């Protein structure tokens, strides 16, 4: 598979590249265009994957990022079969105090960039009858305290990709999202370094553990793979069951209901 992965220098994006190389879901050979703004870590990941991988250092908020990725993908791989559009950020804070620039930045990375990249890769994906998978979040489904406009930016991403699935279905392109719940990566490591906070979080997850980058990568690879050949326009939650715990959190389920 010829794959473009954004946010490939760390966490879930890196795990997508590494798990694709393992070959459990999608048989090789594979070639990779790895996109990230962190040049140093991107170089490390690329070197570890070998000659089939090509690093493309870019900020996904740039207006022309999609066109530049498309050009680089053609130069390195001659086309594109799959896209893991995964780069994203969190920003803390309350909406009442949020700065306009921070709101715009959240939407620029977590929503708009996915569209810029998808738009530029439409023709190559049409040629390969390929697949596009974006990384959303469980926060797209649930308001998330102290994360400012993060939930809104991810909720918009869900609808953007559903819209793509309808527009591009006739071209044979499948478009889906994955929504991780709490997952241990560089994005969350500082928060979960506090053992009390980690224990509280894990207690709220039915599987009683955080997700790993590999857990989420495997869901992305499933959606990119032929095993998901008739699946388009869905959001696949990878949250250990956490999104089903609303009633538990409110005290129901104790056997005391009247
Ligand atoms: N970790 C979690 O608990 C969690 C939960 C839900 C959703 N997600 C989503 O998963 C995705 C991957 O996050 P992660 O947990 O692997 O985090 P991470 O911080 O380990 O990796 C994110 C990568 O994206 C890159 N990136 C960020 N902004 C960029 C930009 N403007 N241009 C280019 N590259 C950029 C970073 O350099 C980094 O390498 C994100 O979209 C995130 O919102 C993560």
pLDDT tens, N- to C-terminus, the chain (258 residues): 999 999 999 999 999 999 999 988 899 999 999 999 999 999 999 999 999 999 999 999 999 999 999 999 999 999 999 999 999 999 999 999 999 999 999 999 999 999 999 999 999 999 999 999 999 999 999 999 999 999 999 999 999 999 999 999 999 999 999 999 999 999 999 999 999 999 999 999 999 999 999 999 999 999 999 999 999 999 999 999 999 998 876 554 444 444
CB of 149 closer than 8 Å to CB of 207: no
Indicate yes or no: pTM above 0.75: yes
Is 180 in contact with 137 (CB distance < 8 Å)?
Answer: yes
Spatial distance between the Cα atoms of 253 and 249, rounded to a whole number of angstroms: 9
Q: What would you report as the CA-atom Rg of the chain, rounded to the nearest whole angstrom? A: 18
Active site residues per annotation: 150
Q: What is the pLDDT of residue 253?
A: 46
Structure tokens at 27: 């048989």
Ligand 1 centre to CA of 119 (Å) is: 21
Q: Name the CATH topology of 2-236.
A: Rossmann fold (3.40.50)
Q: Residue 9 has what DSSP assignment?
A: T
- How far is Cα 14 from Cα 175, in angstroms, rounded to an integer? 21
> Which atom of ligand 1 lies nearest, measured to the CA of 9?
39
The crossing angle, in degrees rounded to 10, of helices 113-128 and 65-77 is: 30
Nearest residue to 59 (alpha-carbon basis) of 37, 84, 39: 37
In ligand 1, the atom with minimum distance to the C-alpha of 210 is 3
Q: Take atom 2 of ligand 1 and give the residue whose Cα is closest.
A: 183
Longest dimension (CA), the chain: 66
Closest to 124 measured CA to CA, from 86, 161, 183, 72: 72
CA of 254 to the centre of ligand 1 (A): 37
Cβ atoms of 82 and 133 closer than 8 Å: yes
Residue with tokens 């993908």: 73
Q: Which residues line ligand 1 (CB under 6 A)?
A: 7, 9-13, 36-38, 59-61, 86-89, 109, 135, 137, 180, 182-183, 185-188, 213
How many angstroms does the Cα of residue 186 sit away from the middle of ligand 1? Answer: 8
Please state, in angstroms and rounded to a whole number, the distance separating the CA atoms of residues 26 and 10: 21
Q: Which atom of ligand 1 is nearest to the CA of 59?
A: 32
Structural element, H or E, at residue 175: strand 174-180
Fill in the DSSP letter of residue 81: S
Q: Are 56 and 3 in contact (CB under 8 A)?
A: no
**Selection from 135, 133, 134, 137 nearest residue 151 by Cα:** 137
CA 54 – CA 36 distance, rounded (Å): 11
The residue nearest atom 10 of ligand 1, judged by CA position, is 135
Ligand 1 centroid vs 109 CA: distance in angstroms?
A: 10
Query: To which H or E segment does residue 168 belong?
Result: helix 150-168
Atom 32 of ligand 1, residue of closest alpha carbon: 59
Which pair of structure tokens corresponds to residue 216?
């989420």
Write the residue with the smallest CA distance to atom 16 of ligand 1.
11
Q: Which of 15, 142, 187 to probe ligand 1 with, by most ligand atoms within 8 A of CB?
A: 187
> Who contacts 101 (Cβ-Cβ below 8 Å, separation ≥6)?
none
Query: What are the structural domain ranges in the chain?
Result: 2-236
CA of 257 relative to ligand 1 center, distance in Å: 41
Q: Which residues sit opposite 31 in a β-bridge?
A: 2
């Amino acid at each position: 598979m010829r794959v473009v992965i954004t946010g490939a220098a760390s966490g879930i994006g890196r795990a997508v590249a590494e798990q694709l190389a393992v070959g459990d879901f999608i048989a090789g050979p594979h070639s990779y265009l790895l996109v990230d703004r962190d040049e140093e870590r991107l170089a490390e990941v690329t070197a570890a994957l070998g000659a089939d991988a090509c690093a493309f250092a870019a900020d996904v908020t740039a207006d022309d990022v999609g066109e530049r990725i498309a050009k680089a993908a053609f130069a390195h791989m001659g086309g594109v079969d799959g896209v893991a559009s995964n780069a994203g950020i969190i920003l803390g804070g309350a909406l009442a105090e949020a700065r306009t620039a921070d709101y715009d930045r959240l939407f620029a990375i977590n929503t708009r960039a996915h569209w810029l990249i998808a738009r530029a890769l439409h023709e190559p994906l049409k040629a390969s009858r390929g697949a596009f998978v974006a990384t959303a979040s469980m926060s797209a489904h649930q308001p998330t305290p102290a994360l400012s406009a993060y939930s809104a930016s991810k909720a918009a991403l869900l609808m953007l990709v559903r819209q793509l699935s309808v527009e591009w279905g006739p071209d044979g392109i499948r478009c889906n999202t994955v929504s991780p719940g709490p997952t241990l990566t560089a994005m969350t490591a500082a928060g979960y370094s506090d053992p009390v906070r980690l224990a509280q979080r894990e207690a709220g997850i039915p599987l009683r553990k955080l997700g790993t980058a590999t857990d989420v990568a495997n869901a992305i690879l499933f959606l990119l793979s032929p095993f998901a050949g008739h699946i388009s326009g869905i959001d696949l939650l990878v949250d250990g069951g956490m999104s089903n715990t609303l009633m538990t959190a409110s005290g129901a389920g104790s056997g005391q209901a009247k």
